[in-house]
Chain A
Amino acid sequence: MRPYLRYLLPLAIFLVLVGFFAAGLKLNPREVPSPLIDKPAPAFDLPLLSDVGKKFSPEQMRGQVWVLNVWASWCGACRDEHPVLMAMSRQGALAIVGLNYKDTNAEAATVLKNSGNPYQFVAVDADGRTGIDYGVYGVPESYIIDKQGIIRYKQIGPMTANVLREKIMPLVKGLQ
Protein backbone atom coordinates (compact mmCIF):
# COMPACT_ATOMS: atom_id res chain seq x y z
CA MET A 1 0.00 0.00 0.00
CA ARG A 2 2.73 2.46 0.89
CA PRO A 3 4.13 3.14 -2.56
CA TYR A 4 0.66 4.33 -3.58
CA LEU A 5 0.64 7.01 -0.93
CA ARG A 6 2.75 9.27 -3.11
CA TYR A 7 -0.05 9.44 -5.63
CA LEU A 8 -2.10 11.14 -2.93
CA LEU A 9 0.52 13.84 -2.50
CA PRO A 10 -0.99 16.27 -5.07
CA LEU A 11 -4.37 15.92 -3.38
CA ALA A 12 -2.84 16.55 0.04
CA ILE A 13 -1.08 19.71 -1.14
CA PHE A 14 -4.28 20.89 -2.75
CA LEU A 15 -6.32 20.31 0.41
CA VAL A 16 -3.85 22.31 2.49
CA LEU A 17 -4.16 25.17 -0.01
CA VAL A 18 -7.95 25.02 0.12
CA GLY A 19 -7.76 25.22 3.91
CA PHE A 20 -5.72 28.38 3.72
CA PHE A 21 -8.04 29.89 1.12
CA ALA A 22 -11.07 29.17 3.26
CA ALA A 23 -9.34 30.89 6.17
CA GLY A 24 -8.33 33.71 3.85
CA LEU A 25 -11.93 34.45 2.92
CA LYS A 26 -12.51 35.65 6.46
CA LEU A 27 -9.47 37.91 6.53
CA ASN A 28 -9.04 41.40 5.21
CA PRO A 29 -5.72 41.65 3.36
CA ARG A 30 -5.87 45.43 3.35
CA GLU A 31 -5.99 45.89 7.11
CA VAL A 32 -2.51 46.49 8.44
CA PRO A 33 -2.11 45.84 12.17
CA SER A 34 -0.12 48.50 13.95
CA PRO A 35 3.35 47.61 15.19
CA LEU A 36 2.88 50.26 17.87
CA ILE A 37 0.56 48.15 20.02
CA ASP A 38 2.09 47.79 23.52
CA LYS A 39 4.67 50.44 22.66
CA PRO A 40 4.83 53.96 24.08
CA ALA A 41 2.72 56.45 22.13
CA PRO A 42 5.07 58.59 20.01
CA ALA A 43 5.58 62.02 21.51
CA PHE A 44 4.51 65.18 19.73
CA ASP A 45 3.89 68.79 20.55
CA LEU A 46 1.25 70.31 18.30
CA PRO A 47 -0.84 73.50 18.38
CA LEU A 48 -4.45 73.28 19.54
CA LEU A 49 -7.25 73.86 17.08
CA SER A 50 -9.09 76.00 19.60
CA ASP A 51 -6.07 78.17 20.37
CA VAL A 52 -3.13 78.01 18.01
CA GLY A 53 -0.93 79.67 20.60
CA LYS A 54 -1.26 76.70 22.98
CA LYS A 55 0.15 73.23 22.44
CA PHE A 56 -0.88 69.69 23.18
CA SER A 57 1.42 66.82 23.97
CA PRO A 58 0.52 63.23 25.00
CA GLU A 59 2.46 63.84 28.25
CA GLN A 60 -0.50 65.90 29.44
CA MET A 61 -2.69 62.78 29.50
CA ARG A 62 -0.41 60.77 31.81
CA GLY A 63 -2.37 58.97 34.46
CA GLN A 64 -5.55 58.53 32.46
CA VAL A 65 -6.81 56.20 29.80
CA TRP A 66 -7.61 58.12 26.64
CA VAL A 67 -8.37 57.89 22.94
CA LEU A 68 -6.40 59.59 20.23
CA ASN A 69 -8.80 59.90 17.31
CA VAL A 70 -7.32 60.84 13.93
CA TRP A 71 -9.86 62.69 11.82
CA ALA A 72 -10.32 65.31 9.11
CA SER A 73 -13.16 67.40 7.77
CA TRP A 74 -12.60 65.97 4.25
CA CYS A 75 -13.04 62.40 5.40
CA GLY A 76 -16.46 60.86 4.79
CA ALA A 77 -16.10 57.94 7.18
CA CYS A 78 -15.27 60.43 9.96
CA ARG A 79 -18.77 61.84 9.62
CA ASP A 80 -20.21 58.35 10.11
CA GLU A 81 -18.08 57.96 13.18
CA HIS A 82 -18.93 61.32 14.68
CA PRO A 83 -22.17 60.33 16.49
CA VAL A 84 -20.35 57.42 18.15
CA LEU A 85 -17.68 59.78 19.42
CA MET A 86 -20.35 62.15 20.69
CA ALA A 87 -21.98 59.31 22.61
CA MET A 88 -18.62 58.33 24.05
CA SER A 89 -17.94 61.83 25.22
CA ARG A 90 -21.39 62.06 26.82
CA GLN A 91 -20.74 58.83 28.73
CA GLY A 92 -17.48 60.36 29.86
CA ALA A 93 -15.83 56.96 30.37
CA LEU A 94 -12.63 58.10 28.76
CA ALA A 95 -11.17 61.29 27.39
CA ILE A 96 -11.08 61.75 23.62
CA VAL A 97 -8.33 63.76 22.01
CA GLY A 98 -8.59 64.59 18.32
CA LEU A 99 -5.70 64.68 15.93
CA ASN A 100 -6.86 66.82 13.04
CA TYR A 101 -4.99 65.30 10.11
CA LYS A 102 -3.97 67.28 7.00
CA ASP A 103 -6.89 69.66 7.27
CA THR A 104 -7.45 73.39 7.38
CA ASN A 105 -8.26 74.87 10.76
CA ALA A 106 -11.25 76.80 9.44
CA GLU A 107 -12.95 73.77 7.95
CA ALA A 108 -12.20 71.58 10.96
CA ALA A 109 -13.61 74.21 13.32
CA THR A 110 -16.75 74.52 11.19
CA VAL A 111 -17.40 70.78 11.40
CA LEU A 112 -17.06 70.83 15.20
CA LYS A 113 -19.28 73.89 15.48
CA ASN A 114 -22.01 72.41 13.32
CA SER A 115 -22.14 68.84 14.55
CA GLY A 116 -20.75 69.02 18.05
CA ASN A 117 -17.33 68.62 19.62
CA PRO A 118 -16.60 65.31 21.33
CA TYR A 119 -12.95 66.17 21.95
CA GLN A 120 -11.25 67.34 25.09
CA PHE A 121 -8.45 68.70 22.94
CA VAL A 122 -7.89 68.81 19.21
CA ALA A 123 -4.27 68.90 18.13
CA VAL A 124 -3.48 70.11 14.62
CA ASP A 125 -1.31 67.90 12.43
CA ALA A 126 -1.41 70.04 9.30
CA ASP A 127 1.35 68.33 7.32
CA GLY A 128 0.61 64.78 8.49
CA ARG A 129 4.01 64.33 10.12
CA THR A 130 2.66 63.12 13.44
CA GLY A 131 0.32 60.87 11.46
CA ILE A 132 3.36 59.16 9.96
CA ASP A 133 4.84 58.66 13.44
CA TYR A 134 1.64 56.92 14.48
CA GLY A 135 1.50 54.85 11.28
CA VAL A 136 -1.72 56.45 10.11
CA TYR A 137 -2.62 55.23 6.63
CA GLY A 138 -6.31 55.95 6.39
CA VAL A 139 -8.58 58.27 8.33
CA PRO A 140 -10.31 57.74 10.71
CA GLU A 141 -8.08 55.76 13.03
CA SER A 142 -8.17 55.65 16.83
CA TYR A 143 -5.60 54.65 19.42
CA ILE A 144 -6.43 53.64 22.98
CA ILE A 145 -3.60 54.79 25.24
CA ASP A 146 -3.24 53.71 28.86
CA LYS A 147 -2.19 55.53 32.01
CA GLN A 148 1.48 54.92 31.34
CA GLY A 149 1.23 56.29 27.82
CA ILE A 150 1.33 52.86 26.16
CA ILE A 151 -0.80 52.23 23.04
CA ARG A 152 -3.11 49.31 23.80
CA TYR A 153 -5.38 49.10 20.78
CA LYS A 154 -5.80 50.58 17.34
CA GLN A 155 -9.12 50.91 15.58
CA ILE A 156 -8.62 51.16 11.82
CA GLY A 157 -11.57 52.79 10.13
CA PRO A 158 -14.62 54.30 11.85
CA MET A 159 -15.56 53.28 15.37
CA THR A 160 -19.02 51.82 15.53
CA ALA A 161 -21.32 51.34 18.49
CA ASN A 162 -20.58 47.64 18.17
CA VAL A 163 -16.82 48.01 18.32
CA LEU A 164 -17.18 50.41 21.18
CA ARG A 165 -19.34 48.02 23.20
CA GLU A 166 -17.55 44.79 22.46
CA LYS A 167 -13.91 45.73 22.15
CA ILE A 168 -13.10 49.15 23.46
CA MET A 169 -15.18 49.46 26.63
CA PRO A 170 -14.11 46.09 28.11
CA LEU A 171 -10.50 46.97 27.33
CA VAL A 172 -10.80 50.39 28.90
CA LYS A 173 -12.40 48.91 32.03
CA GLY A 174 -9.46 46.58 32.40
CA LEU A 175 -7.01 49.43 32.00
CA GLN A 176 -8.74 51.58 34.59
Chain B
Amino acid sequence: MKLSILKVLSALLLILPLLACTEARPLADDPAVEVRLRHLSHELRCLVCQNQTLADSNAPLAQDLRQEVRELIVKGLNDQEITDYLVVRYGDFVRYRPAVNAQTLLLWIGPALLLAIGFGSLWWTLRRRNSLLADIDNNDQEEKEEEA
Protein backbone atom coordinates (compact mmCIF):
# COMPACT_ATOMS: atom_id res chain seq x y z
CA MET B 1 0.00 0.00 0.00
CA LYS B 2 2.66 2.39 1.13
CA LEU B 3 4.72 1.64 -1.85
CA SER B 4 1.92 2.55 -4.19
CA ILE B 5 1.30 5.82 -2.37
CA LEU B 6 4.95 6.59 -2.77
CA LYS B 7 4.68 5.75 -6.42
CA VAL B 8 1.74 8.09 -6.85
CA LEU B 9 3.56 10.83 -5.02
CA SER B 10 6.67 10.47 -7.09
CA ALA B 11 4.53 10.34 -10.20
CA LEU B 12 2.85 13.55 -9.13
CA LEU B 13 6.21 15.13 -8.54
CA LEU B 14 7.19 14.15 -12.03
CA ILE B 15 3.97 15.50 -13.45
CA LEU B 16 4.17 18.80 -11.61
CA PRO B 17 6.81 20.36 -13.80
CA LEU B 18 4.79 19.24 -16.78
CA LEU B 19 1.70 20.93 -15.44
CA ALA B 20 3.58 24.16 -15.48
CA CYS B 21 3.76 24.06 -19.27
CA THR B 22 0.44 22.51 -20.17
CA GLU B 23 0.18 23.33 -23.84
CA ALA B 24 0.47 20.19 -25.94
CA ARG B 25 2.97 20.26 -28.77
CA PRO B 26 2.17 19.36 -32.34
CA LEU B 27 3.40 15.90 -33.21
CA ALA B 28 5.56 17.24 -35.98
CA ASP B 29 8.41 19.67 -35.62
CA ASP B 30 7.00 21.82 -38.35
CA PRO B 31 3.18 21.85 -38.64
CA ALA B 32 3.35 23.43 -42.10
CA VAL B 33 5.28 20.42 -43.37
CA GLU B 34 2.73 18.17 -41.74
CA VAL B 35 -0.16 19.89 -43.52
CA ARG B 36 1.51 19.30 -46.86
CA LEU B 37 2.36 15.74 -45.94
CA ARG B 38 -1.24 15.06 -45.02
CA HIS B 39 -2.47 16.53 -48.26
CA LEU B 40 0.06 14.64 -50.37
CA SER B 41 -0.33 11.33 -48.59
CA HIS B 42 -4.06 11.38 -49.31
CA GLU B 43 -3.20 11.25 -53.01
CA LEU B 44 -0.74 8.39 -52.71
CA ARG B 45 -1.45 4.72 -52.41
CA CYS B 46 -0.05 2.42 -49.79
CA LEU B 47 1.49 -0.42 -51.78
CA VAL B 48 1.20 -3.24 -49.29
CA CYS B 49 -2.34 -2.55 -48.16
CA GLN B 50 -5.49 -3.71 -49.90
CA ASN B 51 -6.68 -0.30 -50.95
CA GLN B 52 -5.70 2.53 -48.65
CA THR B 53 -4.03 5.86 -48.97
CA LEU B 54 -0.61 6.44 -47.53
CA ALA B 55 -2.27 8.75 -45.00
CA ASP B 56 -4.63 6.10 -43.71
CA SER B 57 -2.27 3.17 -43.45
CA ASN B 58 -0.25 2.02 -40.49
CA ALA B 59 1.80 -0.51 -42.42
CA PRO B 60 5.56 -0.16 -41.81
CA LEU B 61 6.25 0.62 -45.46
CA ALA B 62 3.61 3.37 -45.36
CA GLN B 63 5.32 4.85 -42.32
CA ASP B 64 8.68 4.73 -44.09
CA LEU B 65 7.26 6.37 -47.16
CA ARG B 66 5.57 9.09 -45.13
CA GLN B 67 8.92 9.77 -43.49
CA GLU B 68 10.55 9.86 -46.93
CA VAL B 69 7.93 12.30 -48.20
CA ARG B 70 8.35 14.43 -45.08
CA GLU B 71 12.08 14.68 -45.71
CA LEU B 72 11.53 15.54 -49.36
CA ILE B 73 9.18 18.34 -48.31
CA VAL B 74 11.79 19.66 -45.91
CA LYS B 75 14.32 19.50 -48.74
CA GLY B 76 12.09 21.91 -50.61
CA LEU B 77 10.69 19.70 -53.40
CA ASN B 78 7.25 20.63 -54.68
CA ASP B 79 4.31 18.23 -54.77
CA GLN B 80 4.84 17.32 -58.40
CA GLU B 81 8.50 16.51 -57.82
CA ILE B 82 7.69 14.35 -54.82
CA THR B 83 5.03 12.43 -56.73
CA ASP B 84 7.47 11.92 -59.60
CA TYR B 85 10.09 10.71 -57.13
CA LEU B 86 7.72 7.95 -55.98
CA VAL B 87 6.44 7.15 -59.48
CA VAL B 88 10.01 6.53 -60.67
CA ARG B 89 10.39 3.92 -57.94
CA TYR B 90 6.94 2.36 -57.69
CA GLY B 91 5.26 3.22 -60.97
CA ASP B 92 1.94 4.93 -61.68
CA PHE B 93 0.34 2.54 -59.22
CA VAL B 94 1.20 4.85 -56.30
CA ARG B 95 -0.83 7.76 -57.60
CA TYR B 96 -4.48 7.77 -56.58
CA ARG B 97 -4.95 10.66 -58.98
CA PRO B 98 -3.98 9.08 -62.29
CA ALA B 99 -1.75 11.16 -64.54
CA VAL B 100 -3.48 12.52 -67.62
CA ASN B 101 -1.93 10.75 -70.61
CA ALA B 102 -2.95 8.74 -73.65
CA GLN B 103 -3.79 5.72 -71.49
CA THR B 104 -5.99 7.57 -69.05
CA LEU B 105 -7.60 9.96 -71.50
CA LEU B 106 -10.80 7.96 -71.60
CA LEU B 107 -10.86 7.85 -67.81
CA TRP B 108 -10.67 11.60 -67.50
CA ILE B 109 -12.98 12.65 -70.31
CA GLY B 110 -15.28 9.64 -69.89
CA PRO B 111 -17.72 11.22 -67.42
CA ALA B 112 -18.13 14.37 -69.54
CA LEU B 113 -18.52 12.19 -72.61
CA LEU B 114 -21.21 10.12 -70.89
CA LEU B 115 -23.12 13.25 -69.94
CA ALA B 116 -22.86 14.60 -73.49
CA ILE B 117 -23.97 11.32 -75.06
CA GLY B 118 -26.74 11.01 -72.49
CA PHE B 119 -28.19 14.45 -73.06
CA GLY B 120 -27.64 14.17 -76.80
CA SER B 121 -29.60 10.95 -77.03
CA LEU B 122 -32.30 12.26 -74.69
CA TRP B 123 -32.79 15.29 -76.91
CA TRP B 124 -32.78 13.17 -80.07
CA THR B 125 -35.20 10.63 -78.58
CA LEU B 126 -37.62 13.28 -77.36
CA ARG B 127 -37.68 14.97 -80.76
CA ARG B 128 -38.12 11.74 -82.65
CA ARG B 129 -40.75 10.65 -80.20
CA ASN B 130 -42.74 13.83 -80.53
CA SER B 131 -42.68 13.68 -84.32
CA LEU B 132 -43.72 10.00 -84.25
CA LEU B 133 -46.56 10.81 -81.87
CA ALA B 134 -47.57 13.71 -84.11
CA ASP B 135 -47.72 11.31 -87.09
CA ILE B 136 -49.85 8.91 -85.11
CA ASP B 137 -52.18 11.75 -84.14
CA ASN B 138 -52.44 12.81 -87.79
CA ASN B 139 -53.08 9.26 -88.94
CA ASP B 140 -55.73 8.88 -86.28
CA GLN B 141 -57.40 12.00 -87.51
CA GLU B 142 -57.23 10.91 -91.13
CA GLU B 143 -58.67 7.54 -90.18
CA LYS B 144 -61.45 9.23 -88.33
CA GLU B 145 -62.13 11.49 -91.27
CA GLU B 146 -62.23 8.49 -93.59
CA GLU B 147 -64.61 6.73 -91.28
CA ALA B 148 -66.72 9.79 -91.18
Contacts and interface: CB of A to CB of B under 8 A. Distances in A.
- A–B: direct contact at CB < 8 Å: yes
B94 to A, nearest CB: 8
Range of interface residues on A (Cβ < 8 Å): 10 to 19
Interface residues of B, number: 15
A135 B87 CA distance: 9
Given A102-B60, A128-B64, A135 B91 contact: yes
Given A137-B47, A138-B48, A32 B91 contact: yes
B93 interface: yes
A35 interface: yes
Interface of B: 47-48, 50, 60-61, 64-65, 68, 87-93
Interface of A: 30, 32-36, 102, 127-129, 132-135, 137-138
A32 B90 contact: yes
B81 to A, nearest CB: 16
A34 B91 CA distance: 6
Nearest to B121: A6
Contacts of A36: 89
Contacts of A138: 47-48
B48 A35 contact: no
Contacts of B64: 127-128, 132
